[in-house]
Amino acid sequence: MVIQRLQTLFLLLAVVFMCIFCCTPWATQAAEGVAEASPVFVSEAPVLLILNIVIAVLLFISIFMFKNLKRQMTVTVLSIILICTSMATCGILLFTAYPGATFIWTGGIVLLLVALVCVLFAYRFMKKDHKLLTSYDRLR
């Protein structure tokens, strides 16, 4: 199988980044009386874990929707909204469930941002393909 469309590559990269985010710590929490800060993983917050698994599955399904471009674009926009929701959930959980915790900027949060950028680029290339297809339809 040869990847011929750039949006497929960007969607695949976004799936990989979302899966890596589910396995890496996204915050550190310092316990009282302990010198070292313990990492906070996504698996410790079931809501965040389920949300990120749903995002990864939607992005993976979106890769195979290339025959219906409008539906693929709709699923991609839904994934963008859910990634932004995941970022907001990370922030809310950090300040409510883990008081005194701090983000790990070099790990988990950057992976979410990179996944969001990959999905945005994929959507941009989908729109480019959609414009090309509508221009061909006008010529017929």
What distance in Å separates the CA atoms of residue 74 and residue 43, rounded to the nearest whole number? 28
* Torsion sign over Cα 38, 43, 47, 50: positive
Encoded tokens for 123:
């959507």
Please tell me the pTM assigned to this model: 0.86
In this structure, the number of other CB atoms found within 10 A of the CB of residue 91 comes to: 12
**pLDDT (tens digit per residue) in 16-52:** 999 999 888 888 887 666 667 788 888 888 888 999 9
pLDDT digits (tens, 9 = 90+) for 113-129: 999 999 999 999 989 88
Q: Which of 4-13, 101-110, 128-137 has maximum average pLDDT?
A: 4-13
pLDDT exceeds 60 at position 6: yes
Q: Give the whole-angstrom CA distance, residue 10 versus residue 105.
A: 22
